[in-house]
Structure 1
């Protein structure tokens, strides 16, 4: 059996690189580790990092087809980020003009979560970390 340790990165292909770079770095606050322009592919690769070391790779590819999402398609359903306070994060996103769905409660863990989308409509989730007493 494999001995997987953790998720290292999630890779995202965007349609508008400057817009998505702004969203993931300025709106979500991910740290830039490296940015490369690959001339042979006419493509950018941006390596971003979360505080726990997990990474998001942001790619731009000319002519990439749109991602089928609704109704839900097979494949990656969404990318979820753990946060300490879903309500304050939701408010901050809305203040920046990001449409955010109503906060919901996970029926099994009883934690709060909320969905929103990146500039290409990729579903993103904010999932509330357990409190110290949980």
Structure 2
């Protein structure tokens, strides 16, 4: 059974609601996520097509396949989104208690800086494994 969660950016100008049925947190250590957030980007898995964003959100096209959402007022990180399907991986920090999620996977785990490590029993995917999971197959490539 799904539940609706609500969150907001630091200044409150952007409000976000989404539905979750089994909240899972994901951490990404890729260079862009670390540059954008000064650490891993923690996202909360939500149900497809359940995300509603109101307020001055903006998106920076950070790669050929996606972009990073942020509040146009305070600059808070809102999401990482994919151009292909319009899906958004919402920043876990927008929601109280990270939406109740538990860490399930780290992407680009081999790029995690030596200065920190995430504890717990969860999947850790290397750069090669992450790219294989998300990169389009040769049949899908333009």
**TM-score after normalising by structure 2:** 0.28
**Larger relative contact order (Cα-Cα within 8 Å, sequence gap ≥ 6):** 2
- Higher Cα radius of gyration: 1
